[in-house]
Amino acid sequence: MLDSYGRRIDYLRISLTDKCNLRCSYCLPHGVKLVPMEDLLTLEEIAAIVRCGAGLGIDRIRLTGGEPLVRRGLPELMAMLQGIEGLKEVAMTTNGLLLRQYLPMLKERGLKSVNISLDTLDAEIYRQITGYDGLQEVLAAIDAALSAGLKVKVNAVLMAGINADSYKDLAGLAKAQPLDVRFIELMPIGEGRHFKGVSNEALLQDLERDFGRPERDDRIHGNGPARYYRIPGFQGSIGFISAMHRKFCGSCNRIRLTAMGELKPCLCYDTAVDLRTLLRTRGEAALPEAIRQAVARKPEAHCFETADHITEQRRMASIGG
């Protein structure tokens, strides 16, 4: 599918649930009211949307959330997705806490790559950000995913005054292990509005000072907007997703399905097409037109740099970060 600016839309991110087993301060802090189960898309509804999307050229999807591994019935969903014609890739973004437990199932059902979110290697800062003592489990999950032959990327969000200094340890993961570490600039979405992010421009300079001159790495590392660099002596690359300081909307290929079934053409705006209601009132046959409609409504660019233009009020966990 081409949108009205000629961009090919072939990638769908799906929030399987707004629930999570962590309470990250900038994402889903304690006290947030979660959506009742009946308001979430059912597994069959998710599969129906993916099947229809695949027929329209959406050939890669990412399961996220909330935490995708806490969604009940995930093995059954993975099995349903495996059989969908035209779907070339199913990837996942997870906090890693339950990954070791589900790894054999995920591998068996076709998962080839996983993004693991980790914002610090300091156990105390990890607890401060997430509300839990989970650092060792996440590190073990990274090792296990690599040993299982999955392609692994570690995603980190840095915040001034909280974990900004963790960048060096995090980058060091790509030195010690064959994985990419990506720094995602904090976006003013949901709770993220209340924190100050770190500019990737400044971070690149810090990395150069600490590790030597990074060189641009133009090999394709995935479906996303990250710009990659290689540092001498590192096994993996360092990626930067600079939503705030280097807009990449011209090459945006994605749409997002919220846990409640709204299809969002852009993270920044509240524009969405309600696929859940459509499915429940008119059935699967109504989906292709609705998906095309959402793609046609994709704006030229996000507006994160102008905070008062952002219309999206949902949290990252329900949108699917």
Q: Which is nearer to ligand SAM, 121 or 157 (CB)?
A: 157
For residues 229 and 182, is the Cβ–Cβ distance under 8 A?
no
**Residue 111 C-beta: closest distance to ligand SAM, Å:** 14
Q: Which is nearer to ligand SAM, 4 or 128 (CB)?
A: 128
Write out the DSSP string of 219-277: S--SSS--EEEE-TT-SS-EEEE-TTTS--GGG--EEEE-TTSEEES-TTS---EEHHH
**Residue 107 C-beta: closest distance to ligand SAM, Å:** 19
**Residue 168 C-beta: closest distance to ligand SAM, Å:** 18
Secondary structure, 3-state, 172-205: HHHHHCCCEEEEECCCCCHHHHHCCECCHHHHHH
**Residue 49 C-beta: closest distance to ligand SAM, Å:** 19
**Residue 158 C-beta: closest distance to ligand SAM, Å:** 10
For residues 92 and 106, is the Cβ–Cβ distance under 8 A?
yes
Determine the length of the chain: 321
Q: Which is nearer to ligand SAM, 51 or 314 (CB)?
A: 314
Type of residue found at 66: G
CA-to-CA distance for 67 and 95, rounded, in angstroms? Answer: 7
- How are beta strands 215-217 and 180-184 bridged, if at all? unpaired
Q: Which is nearer to ligand SAM, 287 or 317 (CB)?
A: 317
CA-to-CA distance for 119 and 252, rounded, in angstroms? Answer: 25
Buried b (16+ CB within 10 A) or exposed e, 83-108: ebeebeebbbbbbbbbbbebbeebee
Q: Which is nearer to ligand SAM, 98 or 286 (CB)?
A: 98
For residues 236 and 181, is the Cβ–Cβ distance under 8 A?
yes
Which residues of this chain interact with ligand SAM, rule CB under 6 A?
Answer: 20, 26-27, 64-65, 67, 93-95, 117, 155, 157, 184, 186-187, 189-190, 192, 316-317, 321
35 CB burial (10 A radius; 0-12, 13-18, 19+): middle
**Residue 30 C-beta: closest distance to ligand SAM, Å:** 16
**Residue 192 C-beta: closest distance to ligand SAM, Å:** 2
Q: Which is nearer to ligand SAM, 192 or 287 (CB)?
A: 192
Q: Which is nearer to ligand SAM, 276 or 302 (CB)?
A: 302
For residues 183 and 238, is the Cβ–Cβ distance under 8 A?
yes
**Residue 27 C-beta: closest distance to ligand SAM, Å:** 4
**15 beta partners:** 64
Q: Which is nearer to ligand SAM, 13 or 51 (CB)?
A: 13
